[in-house]
Amino acid sequence: MRYSIKKLIQTSLGVALYSLITHTASGADPLKLDVNLTPIAKIQPTMYGIFFEDINFAADGGLYAELVKNRSFEFEQPLMGWSQPATDPYSTNDDSGIANTLNFAENTTNKNVLRVNVFNDKNYSLVNEGFRGMGILKGETYRLSFYAANPEGTIKRVVAQLVDAKGKVIASTAIPTTHKDWHKYSQTLVATATEEKASLKITFEGKGTLDMDMISLFPKNTWKGRENGLRKDLVQLLADLKPGFLRFPGGCIIEGRTLAQRYQWKNTLGQLDNRPTMISRWNTEFKHKLTPDYFQSFGLGFYEYFQLAEDLGAEPIPVLNCGIACQFNSGELVPVSELDPYIQDAIDLIEFANGTTQSPWGKVRADMGHPEPFNMKYIGIGNEQWGPQYIERFKVFQKVLKEKHPEIILISGSGPFADGQMFDYAHRELKKLNAEIIDEHYYRDIAWFKNNATRYDNYDRNGPKIFAGEYAAQSVAVVSPENKNSWETALAEAAFITGLERNADVVQLTSYAPLMAHTDAWQWSPNMIWFNNLQVLATANYQVQQLFSTHKGSELVSITHAGKPLTGQNGLYASAATDQPENALLIKLVNTDADARHIQFTVPAPVKKSIATITYLGAKHLLSENSFASPDQIKPEIHRQGFKNNTLTYTAPPHSVSVISIPLNH
Q: Which residues are catalytic?
A: 384
Give the 3-state secondary structure of 311-345: HHCCEEEEEECCCECCCCCCCCECCHHHCHHHHHH
Q: Do you find a cis peptide bond into 78, omega within 30 degrees of 0?
A: no
DSSP three-state, residue 26: coil
Q: Within 10 A of 608 (CB to CB), how many other CB atoms are there?
A: 12
The DSSP bridge pattern shows strands 126-128 and 157-163 to be unpaired
d(CA 411, CA 357): 27
d(CA 33, CA 388): 46
DSSP 55-100: -TTSTBTTTB----TTTTS-SSSTTTTEE-TT--TTS--TTSEEEE
- Which residues in 562-624 belong to E strands, given as ranges? 564-565, 572-579, 584-591, 597-602, 611-617
Report the run of H or E that residue 517 belongs to, with start and end: strand 516-518
Q: Are 474 and 433 in contact (CB under 8 A)?
A: no
Return d(Cα 265, Cα 213) in angstroms, integer.
23
Question: How far apart, in Å, are the Cα atoms of 348 and each of 288, 352, 401, 411, 428?
Answer: 39, 6, 11, 17, 30
For residue 371, give the amino acid letter. Answer: P
Asked if 585 and 661 count as a contact pair (C-beta separation under 8 A), the reply is: yes
Rounded Cα distance between 365 and 358, Å, is 11
CA–CA distances in Å: residue 471 to residues 442, 497, 551: 5, 10, 20
List all residues 6 or more positions away from 63 whose beta carbon is below 8 Å from its beta carbon: 52, 230, 231, 234, 235, 300, 516
CB 257 within 8 A of CB 326: yes
Helices 387-404, 421-432: inter-axial angle, 10-degree rounding: 30
Task: List, in order, residues 6 or more apart from 130 with CB less than 8 Å away.
Answer: 67, 68, 69, 81, 198, 199, 200, 533
